[in-house]
Amino acid sequence: METIIRCLYLLRLWGRKTGRFISSLPTILLLSLPLLLKFMELYQPPQYSPSPHPMTISLLLQPILALGTSWWILLGIVILCLFIQAYLEYRRRTYDHILAFQLQEQFDDLEQERIAVCNLLLDNRIEIDHIETRESRIRLLPLDDVLDFFEGVGFYMQGGRLTPEVAHHHFYHWIRMYWQAAQSYVQAWRQQETARWENMEYLFERTSDVEMSRGHIRKRLELSLTPTQLREYLEDERNALRRLEPASEQP
């Protein structure tokens, strides 16, 4: 059963890659391909007669000229160029990092919000699923800032502006940590707004597919952090961010 589930995840990942490759094919060449095939059907290549002078240059060029008039060879060259161009465009789209760098800068600017989120999640006295009062919602606002950021990343990925491979490379460590740590908060809000942070959930699922495709993870459950691991991740995150703060701002 686990093998079947893993195969389904890989098929879903490769299905998206195939779709991206097809969309990378040059449209004008795809549209001209039927015309080329029809022209090949109607075209009759010229017949070359042997030269009376066997040692002349024209005799040496006849095989080359005959080969050059073969529309099947020409079609093969066109298709080869088509796929080379499509492959290069596919790689460019798959690993396009421009938007990712812009998003990375935005994420780095959330330094104080991320520290506040770590403090909230590490404080056992705070129940993050209690959002009934205005005071509790205000206290938990830093969670919204971080989750909303990843909601935006997921939105761009849904629209094809960012690929799962690039999002995984830049953000997967934090996507997995914050999504799992904030599950009770997300579920509490979804009692009121069912679609809240759905793009972040999509982001987590798709980047997890990439993680599983690397071969290190065999079961989906292995992606889930234990409470001890989650606490260690959050403490490491808070300590790393505090080291970035100017000495005058540290507590």
> Looking only at Cα atoms, what is the longest distance across the chain?
101
Does 185 reside within a domain?
A: yes
Q: Which domain holds residue 9?
A: 2-45+52-94
Q: What is the pLDDT of residue 149?
A: 97
Residues 6+ apart with CB under 8 A from 147: 178, 182, 185, 186, 197, 200
**Tens digit of pLDDT for each residue in 192-231?**
999 999 999 999 999 998 888 876 666 667 788 999 999 9
Across 13-22, 81-90, 123-132, least confident range: 13-22
DSSP 26: -
Query: Could you tell me if 158 and 36 lie in one domain?
Result: no
Confidence bin at 64 (pLDDT 50/70/90) = very low
Q: Are 102 and 149 in contact (CB under 8 A)?
A: no
Q: Are 100 and 166 in contact (CB under 8 A)?
A: yes
Query: Could you tell me if 163 and 84 lie in one domain?
Result: no
Query: Could you tell me if 157 and 35 lie in one domain?
Result: no
Does 201 reside within a domain?
A: yes
Q: How many domains does the chain have?
A: 2
Does 202 reside within a domain?
A: yes
Q: What is the mean pLDDT of residues 86-101?
A: 75
Does 251 reside within a domain?
A: no
Q: What is the mean pLDDT of residues 5-26?
A: 60
Confidence bin at 142 (pLDDT 50/70/90) = very high
